């Protein structure tokens, strides 16, 4: 039976597990935290100086796409417009766009073409917030928040809402197939200042339009539409959940999936001299932890004003890709497993388990155990055990403890993988 478009999209999303997030815009020129515009209450005229300097002459989307593919990423999401309102495409609805900068060319179309050519799915990030638009009402997040009362006298949010819908329609109709729409974001009031939520964006109408124009497209939970079924995936940000955060519905075929988004360094956009770049081992552990809890990882890079991805970031991605060449079968299409280490015998071990059909994978990160390991509830269910890295076998036997059948793994002394030593347990056909 033919799957409906949404079911097909859910399937590829859960198979993919790993994507690239790209935050890029005028803020790259500052080499600072991209929220400085709001935090430092920068005036509009000051920020527009960046507009007159934006000229990423080294922009090579094909190189970005090749890097993403080598990293083992299966989809990518680009910030077409962030909160500053600057558009990376040639929008008909604003002059505050890349084609009016010294660069003078649409950045989005070649990006989509390059990533499609490498076989990656395409995601569009679009900020619902727009601090540049003259009718976006000033609230507590806005850079000009101290002038809110004065500025809002001449602002009509309905004008902005129409602009928002028109731009999204443009993105959904003029750039071919779009696989993910990643809006950002809805927020409630604070200290008497109103936020902006689903009613402000008219999120139900926006969502309906997008789904009509792009059947099967996946959307996150940031439109603010109430109800757990009103999005396709949840988006924990800058932290890695240690449990399946999608389990909010008894209907597992409709419950939202989830995707953690995080930065490699300290900032979403380009941050000169970033001293907080995560290690490859940490990033691999985050990816595995996401998959072990039925989630995806959307890993962010912030290109330079010239249009390059920094070498330290590229190195991390290349190393993750090399690891995935060996161990990707424990990631792609995998999810959580019900099996765990038997803690009575091995109280200090806390590896991550992933599972794909009748294959159970154990991921040892910090310390490969120098002793036999007991896996609970697997006695009598196992056909074969091996190290994934070199496919050498591991001895095993059934063992009864506390009246239940468990599995003892007879682990040899080996040199562990520097990032993650992975063991595959093949279940008997009737046990998956």
What pLDDT does residue 366 have?
85
Tens digits of residue pLDDT in 273-293: 888 999 999 999 999 999 999
CA 119, chain centre distance (Å): 18
Per DSSP, what are the bridge partners of residue 422? Answer: 363
Structure tokens at 164: 């928002």
What pLDDT does residue 250 have?
44
Q: Greatest CA span in the chain, whole angstroms?
A: 76
Q: Could you tell me if 405 and 396 are in contact, meaning their C-beta atoms sit under 8 angstroms apart?
A: no
What pLDDT does residue 249 have?
52
For the stretch 94-101, contacts whose Cβ atoms lie closer than 8 Å and that sit 24 or more positions apart, written own/partner, are: 94/133, 94/163, 94/167, 96/51, 96/132, 98/54, 100/51, 101/51, 101/52, 101/54, 101/55
List domains and CATH numbers for the chain: 5-330 (3.20.20.80), 352-431 (2.60.40.1180)
What pLDDT does residue 248 have?
56
Regions of the chain short of the pLDDT cut 70: 1-2, 228-229, 247-254, 431-432
Q: Which helix (H) or strand (E) holds 360?
A: strand 359-364
Angle in degrees, 0-180, between the axes of helices 280-292 and 311-327, rounded to the nearest 10:
50
Tens digits of residue pLDDT in 186-195: 999 998 889 9
Tell me 279's DSSP state: P
């Amino acid at each position: 039976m033919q799957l409906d478009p949404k079911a097909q999209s859910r399937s590829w999303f859960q198979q993919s597990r790993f994507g690239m997030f790209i935050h890029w815009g005028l803020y790259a020129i500052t080499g600072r935290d991209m929220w400085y515009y709001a935090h430092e209450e920068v005036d509009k005229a000051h920020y527009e100086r960046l507009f007159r300097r934006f000229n990423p002459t080294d922009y090579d989307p094909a190189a970005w796409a090749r890097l993403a593919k080598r990293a083992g990423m299966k989809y990518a999401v680009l910030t077409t417009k962030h909160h500053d309102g600057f558009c990376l495409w040639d929008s008909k609805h604003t002059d505050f766009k890349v084609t009016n900068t010294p660069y003078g060319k649409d950045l989005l179309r070649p990006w989509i073409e390059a990533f499609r050519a490498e076989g990656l799915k395409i995601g569009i990030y679009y900020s619902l917030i727009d601090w540049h638009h003259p009718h976006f009402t000033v609230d507590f997040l806005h850079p000009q928040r101290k002038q809110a009362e004065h500025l809002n006298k001449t602002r009509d949010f309905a004008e902005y809402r129409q602009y928002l819908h028109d731009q999204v329609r443009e993105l959904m109709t003029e750039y071919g197939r779009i696989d993910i729409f990643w809006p950002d974001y809805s927020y409630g009031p604070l200290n008497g200042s109103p936020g902006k939520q689903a009613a402000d964006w008219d999120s139900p109408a926006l969502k309906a339009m997008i789904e009509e124009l792009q059947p099967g497209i996946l959307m996150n939970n940031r439109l603010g539409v109430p109800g757990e079924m009103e999005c396709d995936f949840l988006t924990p940000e800058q932290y890695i959940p240690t449990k399946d955060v999608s389990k909010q519905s008894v209907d597992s075929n409709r419950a939202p999936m989830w995707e953690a988004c995080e930065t490699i360094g300290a900032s979403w956009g380009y941050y000169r001299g970033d001293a907080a770049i995560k290690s490859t081992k940490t990033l691999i552990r985050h990816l595995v932890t996401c998959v072990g809890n039925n989630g995806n990882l959307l890993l962010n890079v912030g290109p330079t004003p010239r249009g390059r991805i920094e070498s330290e970031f590229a190195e991390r991605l290349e190393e993750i890709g090399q690891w995935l060449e060996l161990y990707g079968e424990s990631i792609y299409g995998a999810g959580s497993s019900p099996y765990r280490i038997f803690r009575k015998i091995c109280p200090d071990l806390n590896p991550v388990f992933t599972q794909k059909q009748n294959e159970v994978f154990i991921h040892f990160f910090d310390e490969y155990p120098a002793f036999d390991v007991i896996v609970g509830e697997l006695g009598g269910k196992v056909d074969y055990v091996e190290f994934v890295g070199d496919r050498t076998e591991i001895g095993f036997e059934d063992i009864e403890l506390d009246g239940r059948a468990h599995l003892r793994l007879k682990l040899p002394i080996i040199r562990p993988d520097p990032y993650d030593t992975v063991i595959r347990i093949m279940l008997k056909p009737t046990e998956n």
